[in-house]
Amino acid sequence: MDFSRDFIALSCDKGVLRFGEFVTKAGRLSPYFFNAGLFNDGASFGALCGFYARTLLSASLPCDMLFGPAYKGIPLVAGTAMRLAEHGHNLPFCFNRKEAKDHGEGGTLVGAPLQGRVAILDDVISAGTSVRESVEIIRAHGATPSAVVIALDRMERGTGSLSAVQEVREAYDIPVLAVASLKDLIGYLADSPALKANLEAVQRYRETYGVSGDA
């Protein structure tokens, strides 16, 4: 997908994607670091939501509404819903609170009622905790989780032989769509004179911790 390369270029320009030596939560020494929280101004965040919208549209999956797990998913669903509306797809959206509200309308959900086929929007999948909580919330309201959309699929093994993304696919039997993957990043580095020096380290990391196949 051409827009995957555009997304990686934006991530590098914004410092969202950096290269060097970084220790992951799993204690691995990674040659790159991705922090979607640095899409922190109107222009770059609007572009990010545009990439989410294009990822959803290019997958041609049936989708009736969007759900954003607190907290990172909250601005993502609002922004992506606006971008989708610009493409002629006006979808409702909903997100959860971390704490139940005990006044006003109460409850833990904000936005449109959960119904139909629901796409979950998050930044990345690491332990899969927010996806599991989102699936439980959606199903509890009688709706169907239909897809998960994330910014970057690191394509690396979790505790077993599967990646976090593959574990989610297997556990819930729903597709996980990524704006870009580690495979896309490697292709981008190979074609970038300014960043090519990082290619070998990223390839070596994938060989060490990566999962087989393109999933």
On whether 173 is known to bind a ligand per the annotation, the reply is no
On whether 25 is known to bind a ligand per the annotation, the reply is yes
**Taken in order 61, 172, 212, 3, is the CA torsion positive or negative?**
positive
**Taken in order 122, 126, 128, 130, is the CA torsion positive or negative?**
negative
On whether 196 is known to bind a ligand per the annotation, the reply is no
On whether 209 is known to bind a ligand per the annotation, the reply is no
Q: Which of 101, 141, 183, 196 is catalytic?
A: 101
**Taken in order 168, 170, 171, 175, is the CA torsion positive or negative?**
positive
On whether 95 is known to bind a ligand per the annotation, the reply is no
On whether 41 is known to bind a ligand per the annotation, the reply is no
**Taken in order 205, 45, 5, 16, is the CA torsion positive or negative?**
negative
On whether 169 is known to bind a ligand per the annotation, the reply is no
On whether 128 is known to bind a ligand per the annotation, the reply is yes
Going by C-alpha positions, the residue among 68, 38, 87, 55 that lies closest to residue 145 is: 68
On whether 34 is known to bind a ligand per the annotation, the reply is yes
On whether 154 is known to bind a ligand per the annotation, the reply is yes
Catalytic (active site) residue 87? no
Catalytic (active site) residue 101? yes
- Residues, the chain: 215
Q: Which of 103, 141, 183, 196 is catalytic?
A: 103
Q: Give the count of alpha carbons within 13 A of 25, CB side only.
A: 8
CB 68 within 8 Å of CB 74: yes
On whether 52 is known to bind a ligand per the annotation, the reply is no
Helices and strands of the chain, counted as H and E runs? 7, 8
Q: Which amino acid is at 12?
A: C
Query: Which residues are annotated as part of the binding site?
Result: 25, 33-34, 71-72, 97-98, 101, 103, 122-130, 154
Active-site residue set: 101, 103
Query: Which residues are annotated as part of the binding site for 5-phospho-alpha-D-ribose 1-diphosphate?
Result: 25, 71-72, 97-98, 101, 103, 122-130
Query: Which residues are annotated as part of the binding site for orotate?
Result: 33-34, 126, 154
